[in-house]
Amino acid sequence: MDIKQSVCSYCSVGCNLNFYVENNEIKRVEPTSDYPVNNGFCCIKGLNLDKQQTKHEPHKKPLLRNEKGEMGEIPWDKAFKTFATRMKEIQERYGKESVAFLSTGQITTEEVALLGFVGRIHMGINGDGNTRLCMATSIVAHKQSFGFDAPPYTLKDLELSDTIIFIGANPVIAHPIAWDRVKGNKDAKVITIDPRKSETVLNSDIWIDIKPKSDIVLLYTLANVLIENEWIDKDYIKNYSEGFDGFKNHVKKYTLENVEEQTGISIKRVLELAEMIHKGKRVSFWWTMGVNQGFQAVRTAQAIINLAVITGNIGREGTGANSLTGQSNAMGSRMYSNTTTLYAGRDYNNENHREYVANILDIEEDKIPTKPTIPYDEIIKRIKSGEIKALWVVGTNPADSWVNNKEFKEVVKNLEFFVVQDLYSDTDSAKLCDLCLPSVSSLKKEGFLINTERRLSAVVPILSKEEGELTDYEIFLGIGRALGVGKALDKWKTPKHAFEIIKQFSSGMPCDITGVDYDMLVNSTGVQWPFREGDKLEDNERRLYEDNRFFTESGKIRFVYEDVVDYPEIPRPEFPYILNSGRGTVGQWHTQTRTREIPTVEDITFLSSHVFMNSELARDLNIKDNEKVLITSSNGESANFIAKISDSVKKNQLFAPMHYFNTNILTPYVFDTYSKEPSYKYVTVNIQRI
Ligand X SMILES: Nc1nc2c(c(=O)[nH]1)N[C@H]1C(S)=C(S)[C@@H](COP(=O)(O)OP(=O)(O)OC[C@H]3O[C@@H](n4cnc5c(=O)[nH]c(N)nc54)[C@H](O)[C@@H]3O)O[C@H]1N2
Q: How many CB atoms lie within 10 A of CB 629?
A: 20
Under DSSP, the state recorded for 661 is G
Confirm or reject binding of residue 441 to ligand X (CB under 6 A): yes
Q: How would you write 367-434 as a 3-class SS string?
A: HCCCCCCCCHHHHHHHHHHCCCCEEEEECCCHHHHCCCHHHHHHHHHHCCEEEEEECCCCCCCHHHCC
Residue 679's φ and ψ, nearest 5 degrees, are -90, 65
- Closest to ligand SF4 by CB, 215 vs 597, is 597
Candidate residues 86, 583, 596, 650; the one interacting with ligand X per rule CB under 6 A: 583
Confirm or reject binding of residue 15 to ligand SF4 (CB under 6 A): yes
Confirm or reject binding of residue 174 to ligand X (CB under 6 A): yes
Candidate residues 21, 43, 169, 665; the one interacting with ligand SF4 per rule CB under 6 A: 43
- 611 and 629 in contact (C-beta within 8 Å)? yes
Task: Tell me which H or E stretch contains 245.
Answer: helix 244-251
**Distance between CA 294 and CA 140 in Å, rounded?**
14
97-116 burial code (b ≥16 CB/10 A, e <16): ebbbbbbbbbbbbbbbbbbb
Confirm or reject binding of residue 668 to ligand SF4 (CB under 6 A): no
Residue 421 interacts, among Mo ion, ligand SF4, ligand X, none and using kind-specific CB cut-offs from 5 to 8 Å, with ligand X
Confirm or reject binding of residue 462 to ligand SF4 (CB under 6 A): no
End-to-end CA distance of the chain: 56
Residue 87's φ and ψ, nearest 5 degrees, are -65, -45
Find, among 177, 167, 202, the residue nearest to 285 by Cα. 167
Confirm or reject binding of residue 13 to ligand SF4 (CB under 6 A): yes
**Distance between CA 617 and CA 401 in Å, rounded?**
28
Of residues 324 through 343, those in contact with Mo ion by CB under 5 A are 326
Residue 196 interacts, among ligand SF4, ligand X, Mo ion, none and using kind-specific CB cut-offs from 5 to 8 Å, with ligand X
- Closest to ligand X by CB, 241 vs 588, is 588
- Closest to Mo ion by CB, 134 vs 437, is 134
Confirm or reject binding of residue 526 to Mo ion (CB under 5 A): no
- 438 and 60 in contact (C-beta within 8 Å)? yes
Q: How would you write 471-489 as a 3-class SS string?
A: CHHHHHHHHHHHHCCHHHH
Of residues 101 through 120, those in contact with ligand X by CB under 6 A are 104, 106-107
Asked whether the bond before 530 is cis by omega within 30 degrees of 0, the reply is yes
Site string for Mo ion, 120-139 (x = CB under 5 A): --------------x-----
**Distance between CA 417 and CA 88 in Å, rounded?**
11
**Binding segment (CB under 6 A) for ligand X, from list 14-22, 112-120, 270-278, 422-430:** 422-430
**Binding segment (CB under 6 A) for ligand SF4, from list 39-47, 164-172, 283-291, 603-611:** 39-47
Residue 177 interacts, among ligand X, Mo ion, ligand SF4, none and using kind-specific CB cut-offs from 5 to 8 Å, with ligand SF4
Residue 425's φ and ψ, nearest 5 degrees, are -100, 5
**C-alpha 360 chain-centroid distance:** 29
Confirm or reject binding of residue 168 to Mo ion (CB under 5 A): no
Site string for ligand X, 258-297 (x = CB under 6 A): ------------------------------xxx--x----
| Least Å from the CB of residue 428 to Mo ion | 18
- 396 and 102 in contact (C-beta within 8 Å)? yes
Confirm or reject binding of residue 327 to ligand X (CB under 6 A): yes
| Least Å from the CB of residue 290 to ligand SF4 | 19
Confirm or reject binding of residue 587 to ligand SF4 (CB under 6 A): no
Of residues 361 through 380, those in contact with ligand X by CB under 6 A are none
- Closest to ligand X by CB, 12 vs 161, is 12
Q: How many CB atoms lie within 10 A of CB 572?
A: 10
**Binding segment (CB under 6 A) for ligand SF4, from list 5-13, 74-82, 464-472, 618-626:** 5-13
Confirm or reject binding of residue 196 to ligand SF4 (CB under 6 A): no
| Least Å from the CB of residue 85 to ligand SF4 | 40
Calculate the dihedral angle through the C-alpha atoms of 218, 222, 223, 229, rounding to the nearest 10 degrees: 160
Question: Residue of minimal CB distance from ligand SF4?
Answer: 46
- Closest to ligand X by CB, 363 vs 639, is 639
Task: Tell me which H or E stretch contains 128.
Answer: strand 126-129
β-pair partners for 438: 422
**C-alpha 152 chain-centroid distance:** 16
- Closest to ligand SF4 by CB, 170 vs 686, is 170
**Binding segment (CB under 6 A) for ligand SF4, from list 12-20, 81-89, 418-426, 605-613:** 12-20
**Count of helix runs (H) and strand runs (E) in the chain:** 24, 26
Of residues 151 through 180, those in contact with ligand SF4 by CB under 6 A are 176-177
User: Which amino acid does the sequence have at 202?
Assistant: L
Could you list the residues that contact ligand SF4 (CB under 6 A)?
8, 10-11, 13-15, 38, 42-43, 45-46, 176-177
Contacts to Mo ion by CB under 5 A? 134, 326
Give contact residues for ligand X (rule: CB under 6 A): 11, 104, 106-107, 130, 133-134, 167-171, 173-174, 193-196, 198, 210, 212-213, 215, 288-290, 293, 326-327, 394-398, 400-401, 421-424, 427, 439, 441-442, 472, 580-583, 586, 588-591, 593-594, 658, 663-664, 667, 680-681
